[in-house]
Amino acid sequence: MARTPAPRIALVTYDPGGEESKDRDLPVLVGALREAGAETVAVHWDDAGVDWGGFDLVVIRSTWDYSWRVEEFVAWAERCGKETRLLNPLGVVRWNVDKRYLGDLADAGVAVVPTRYFAPGDPVELPEEYEYVVKPTSGAGARFAARYGAGERETAVRQVARMHAEGFTAMVQPYVRNVDVTGERALQFFGGRFLHANRKGAVLAPGIAYDEDKVSHPGVAPWQATEAELALAERALGAVPGSPELLYARVDVVDGDDGEPVIMELELVEPNLFLDLHEGSSAVVVEAILKAATR
């Protein structure tokens, strides 16, 4: 009886440019998938020499430089999706790389942080009566994000002008003060089921310039997700247009002024999994990837 060929799997990451990769999950997953019998490699998404059609499955894992090259990244996903199976799929990538998806979630009745958008050429209206955050709709890791209060409007206007000059759409949200108290929680899903959750502290402190580097996950630690958080996460995932297959998802929630959780972000492209904080999660992830590769 002929043996079934081992599935060929690509875990897609970014090129760290000679520095050590920040994705600590990647070598763990490559090793675990190989041990499970899959031919697995980690590859850079923008490596022109990769034959994507030679893989049974391409999993976007840590393409953490895409947010400044969105058009190029989406074009890569389109090419890759034509040659093999890409997860998460192309339609999800297109929708999720632009945080205007928060408007779609709000229209679907999902509780989100209130957000306004200002594309290049739009007149910019900034709040004067409360603290707020300005960031690009395609940002990641708090890049180009800053927190403003009374008397800082001119600085915020300069930030928006800088983003517009570089082609970015700006988004403006009220600063959710409970982040300073209860933090931000990230609920991770993999293979269609809840995997684990983490909590981190506030990323944006007053006075930190938008173009300074920030610590993306300050004080990150395991978290026991509440029933309200899980219910909100499920509603958000159920509102993704087209009800697509999601291999993975991260749902970021914070407590609104009334203490109830609201969606800060829905990450369906390249969430950090923090597997080192959760014993047993690696096995679940490997099982889901193998199942997707042999389907």
Output the pTM of the full model: 0.93
Q: Are residues 77 and 153 in the same domain?
A: no
Q: Write the pLDDT tens digit of every residue in 57-77.
A: 999 999 999 988 999 999 999
CATH code, domain carrying 28: 3.40.50.20
Domain that holds residue 126: 101-268
* Cβ neighbour number for residue 162 with a 10 Å cutoff: 14
Q: Are residues 90 and 105 in the same domain?
A: no
CATH code, domain carrying 211: 3.30.470.20
Give a yes or no: residue 277 inside a domain.
no
Q: Are 80 and 74 in contact (CB under 8 A)?
A: no
Give a yes or no: residue 278 inside a domain.
no
DSSP string, 247-280: SEEEEEEEE-TTS-EEEEEEE-S-----GGGSTT
Q: Are residues 256 and 160 in the same domain?
A: yes
Number of domains observed in the structure of the chain: 2
Phi, psi dihedrals of residue 150, rounded to the nearest 5°: -60, 140
Angle at 47 between CA 45 and CA 52, to 5 degrees: 70
Q: Are residues 65 and 138 in the same domain?
A: no
Give a yes or no: residue 151 inside a domain.
yes
**Which neighbouring-strand residues pair with 204?**
none
Inform me whether the pLDDT recorded for 281 exceeds 80: yes
Q: Are residues 214 and 227 in the same domain?
A: yes
Give a yes or no: residue 276 inside a domain.
no
Phi, psi dihedrals of residue 194, rounded to the nearest 5°: -65, 135
Band of residue 1 on the pLDDT scale cut at 50, 70, 90: very low
Q: Write the pLDDT tens digit of every residue in 232-241.
A: 999 999 999 9
